[in-house]
């Protein structure tokens, strides 16, 4: 069957399609049906099944004779080490960690926050939670203490599992002081913390609260897998929205298992036993789905890489890792390839390694620009597949399903909707638009299994953010179009989210930080085009009347505030002082127009602009930073 037949089979019988996919999962009690629609437009899948994620990701492979197969390979150019953990070892390690957590009172439904770098223990912590039916929430290491505190207060975890440090090229990221100050800042206090001491930095433990990762496991009884209902939350992952308050995306257990396993075969064309490498971070959705869960659920070997595409030690690292570990499929963000291409434009380092194991490269997280796709195709001589998805969905919305049929690649398009997703481009009236017409991209409800059923503690926000603009549809927040062949093109966000090096960030959150500076009366943050990172944030500051301080000093202060309050990952380095901000007559800041001016793009003068002359002031200010050319 080709893609069109599979898609048509899903359309004809969505329930049957997903029940068939569910057969690949070990259920303690199989679900009686797939979709549960009693609370439409809120939907659930496989709610009355009983299942355990850790069993499906680990134990069942040992039971099936894969105990000696590598489950996790850790390759860390930052520590000059590699380590392999087999499925049998992983089972023992996770059962022991889960047993120790259970002995401290962690059980089904308790939240556990995980703040760890790219080490196998991060995956083990996630799996140990899954084993107990505890709900994990992993926080990316590049966030500052304040962001961690916000998540602690929203998820109210019983425990926090952290490492003593993370490693970035040339610097140690001191996780423990960040954790301590986050707990100080948060109103909610965890009962205990578990600290994995890394040899690069041993942290001071807080008596009565912090337990050592190894010591607290001595003598405990390993825990068995606890069956949970299909609609039980497997995890919460916070992602950026329009405001500074992140959205807690909830991942339901049953649909997550079924959908991820299906994607490993149908989309990534992986057979159990092969090596899958998602070069991302466990703190992002790509890391949740394709470093931790999907490869393990599917019986693959997953690669945990602690390094960067360039500089650790050079732009040949990715090729070295592929050759050393016989990687079959690599998945990363286009920005990683732009970084490699910048350092080694001729691709000389590619030729030094045996890449014969590699069958495909998948790109996601941001728009894949055609230049990068063509460069990768030429240098690697494998299919280069762009695919589009979001934290909310957890897996591909539109892609090219290599395991079903490879469709012709059109650079600039992530190809076509996957089974499960009826994707349409809607006009302002909510009606589907024809080919070539630009509009809001929406997915007809219900969303497929594994996608978010709600936001943690915020059902109203879920309904308002995603289900209200177009009743009967899920609003993706992306704008774009379809062509005559049904290929999708994702062009821009419709909200204040920007994409920096594949990282999703909220300009609203950055504006909140800038507005907190005592000299700033008003501000705006926009995303401007960047050759390497796709976009970078840029701030515009209007100062309080009478402020005579040096503008450069104020800019330095706001840059350091964003780093301190949101984190280095925001990559906020550009800001400029302006007299006024361009606004509509009703007072709305014209951010999209400012972004177009910054990028030197044509734009239409907004009909509702209050004073067009301000745009010239903005253009002049941008030119001082080297933007608004052309």
Residues lying near ligand AMP in the complex (CB under 6 A): 239, 285, 364-368, 386-391, 414, 477-478, 490, 493, 499, 504
579 CB-contact burial (10 Å; exposed 0-12 / middle 13-18 / buried 19+): exposed
Partner interacting with residue 571 (select from ligand AMP, ligand COA, none; CB below 5-8 Å by kind): ligand COA
Q: Considering only the stretches 94-102, 149-157, 334-342, 619-627, report the one whose residues sit in contact with ligand COA under the rule CB under 6 A.
A: 334-342
**Applying CB under 6 A, which of residues 86, 217, 289, 335 lies at the interface with ligand COA?**
335
HSE (side-chain half, CA atoms, 13 Å) at 135: 24
Q: How far apart are CA 293 and CA 257, in angstroms?
A: 8
**Applying CB under 6 A, which of residues 35, 250, 339, 578 lies at the interface with ligand COA?**
339
Contact (Cβ atoms closer than 8 angstroms) between residue 280 and residue 287? yes
Partner interacting with residue 142 (select from ligand AMP, ligand COA, none; CB below 5-8 Å by kind): ligand COA
Partner interacting with residue 387 (select from ligand COA, ligand AMP, none; CB below 5-8 Å by kind): ligand AMP
Pattern of binders to ligand COA over 298-327, x per CB under 6 A?
A: ----------xxx-----------------
Q: How far apart are CA 100 and CA 222, in angstroms?
A: 8
Q: How far apart are CA 296 and CA 22, in angstroms?
A: 16
The phi and psi torsions of 345 (rounded to 5 degrees) equal: -60, -30
Residue 14 binds ligand COA (CB under 6 A) = no
Our CB check for ligand AMP shows the closer of 76 and 239 to be 239
Tokens of 24: 């690949």
Cα angle 509-510-512, degrees, rounded to a multiple of 5: 65
Residue 467 binds ligand COA (CB under 6 A) = no
The least CB distance from residue 185 to ligand AMP, in Å, is 25
The least CB distance from residue 281 to ligand AMP, in Å, is 11
**Applying CB under 6 A, which of residues 41, 411, 568, 600 lies at the interface with ligand COA?**
568
DSSP state of 602: -
Residue 575 binds ligand COA (CB under 6 A) = no
Beta strands 210-212 and 192-196 are parallel
Residue count, binding to ligand COA (CB under 6 A): 24
Residue 168 binds ligand COA (CB under 6 A) = yes
3-state secondary structure of 200: coil
Residue 367 binds ligand COA (CB under 6 A) = no
Tokens of 529: 């085009």
For tokens 């400029």, name the residue. 576
Residues in the chain: 630
Residue 399 binds ligand COA (CB under 6 A) = no
The least CB distance from residue 474 to ligand AMP, in Å, is 12
Partner interacting with residue 493 (select from ligand AMP, ligand COA, none; CB below 5-8 Å by kind): ligand AMP
Q: How far apart are CA 595 and CA 492, in angstroms?
A: 12
List b or e across 547-578, with b for residues whose CB sees 16 or more CB atoms inside 10 angstroms: eeeeeeebbebbbebbbebbbbbbbbebbbbb
Partner interacting with residue 335 (select from ligand AMP, ligand COA, none; CB below 5-8 Å by kind): ligand COA
| Footprint of ligand COA (CB under 6 A) | 141-142, 166, 168, 173, 280-281, 284, 286, 308-310, 333, 335-336, 339, 365, 501-503, 532, 568-569, 571
């Amino acid at each position: 069957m080709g893609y069109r037949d599979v898609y048509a089979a899903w359309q004809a019988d969505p329930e049957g399609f997903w029940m068939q996919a569910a057969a690949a999962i070990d259920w303690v009690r199989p679900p009686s049906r797939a979709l549960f629609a009693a609370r439409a437009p809120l939907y659930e899948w496989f709610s009355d099944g009983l299942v355990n994620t850790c069993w499906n990701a680990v134990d069942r492979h040992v039971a099936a004779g894969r105990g000696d197969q590598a489950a996790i390979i850790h390759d860390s150019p930052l520590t000059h080490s590699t380590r392999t953990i087999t499925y049998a070892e992983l089972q023992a390690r996770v059962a022991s960690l889960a047993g120790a957590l259970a002995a401290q009172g962690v059980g089904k439904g308790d939240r556990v926050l995980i703040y760890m770098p790219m080490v196998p223990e991060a995956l083990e912590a996630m799996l140990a939670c899954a084993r107990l039916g505890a709900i994990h929430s992993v926080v990316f290491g590049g966030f500052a203490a304040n962001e961690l505190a916000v998540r602690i207060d929203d998820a109210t975890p019983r425990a926090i599992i952290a490492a003593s440090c993370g490693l970035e090229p040339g610097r140690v990221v001191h996780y423990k002081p960040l954790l301590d100050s986050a707990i100080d800042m948060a109103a909610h206090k965890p009962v205990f913390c578990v600290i994995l001491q890394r040899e690069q930095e041993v942290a001071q433990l807080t008596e009565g609260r912090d337990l050592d990762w190894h010591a607290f496991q001595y003598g405990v009884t390993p825990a068995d897998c606890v069956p949970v209902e299909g609609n039980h939350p497997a995890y919460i992952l916070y992602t950026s929205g329009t405001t500074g308050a992140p959205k807690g995306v909830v991942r339901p257990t049953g649909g997550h298992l079924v959908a991820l396993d299906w994607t490993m075969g149908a989309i990534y064309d992986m057979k159990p036993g092969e090596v899958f490498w998602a070069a991302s971070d466990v703190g992002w959705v790509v890391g949740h789905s394709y470093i931790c869960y999907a490869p393990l659920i599917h019986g693959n070997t997953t690669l945990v890489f602690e390094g960067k595409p360039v500089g650790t030690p050079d732009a040949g690292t990715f090729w070295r890792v592929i050759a050393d570990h016989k990687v079959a499929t690599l998945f990363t963000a286009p920005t990683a390839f732009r970084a490699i291409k910048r350092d080694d434009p001729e691709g000389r380092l590619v030729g030094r390694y045996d890449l014969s194991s590699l069958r495909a490269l998948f790109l996601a997280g941001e728009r894949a620009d055609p230049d990068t796709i063509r460069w990768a195709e030429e240098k690697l001589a494998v299919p280069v597949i762009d695919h589009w998805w979001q934290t909310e969905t957890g897996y591909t919305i539109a892609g090219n399903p290599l395991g079903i049929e490879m469709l012709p690649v059109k650079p600039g398009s992530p190809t076509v909707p996957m089974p499960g997703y009826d994707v349409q481009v809607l006009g302002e009236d909510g009606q589907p638009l024809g080919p070539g017409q630009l509009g809001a991209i929406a997915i007809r409800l219900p969303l497929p299994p594994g996608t978010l059923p709600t936001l943690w503690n915020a059902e109203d926000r879920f309904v308002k953010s995603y289900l209200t603009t177009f009743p009967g549809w899920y609003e993706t927040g992306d704008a774009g179009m379809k062509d005559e062949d049904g290929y999708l093109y994702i062009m821009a966000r419709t909200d204040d989210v920007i994409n920096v090096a594949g990282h999703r960030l909220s300009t609203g959150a950055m504006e909140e930080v800038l507005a907190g500076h005592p000299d700033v009366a008003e501000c705006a943050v926009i995303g401007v085009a960047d050759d390497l990172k796709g976009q970078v944030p840029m701030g515009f500051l209007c100062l309080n009347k009478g402020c005579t301080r040096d503008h450069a000093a104020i800019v330095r202060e706001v840059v350091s505030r964003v780093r301190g309050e949101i984190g280095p990952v925001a990559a906020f380095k550009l800001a400029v002082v302006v007299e006024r901000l361009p606004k509509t007559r009703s007072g709305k800041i014209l951010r999209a127009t400012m972004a177009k001016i910054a990028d030197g793009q044509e734009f239409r003068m907004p009909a509702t602009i209050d004073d067009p002359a301000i745009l010239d002031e903005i253009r002049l200010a941008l030119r001082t930073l080297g933007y608004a050319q052309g």
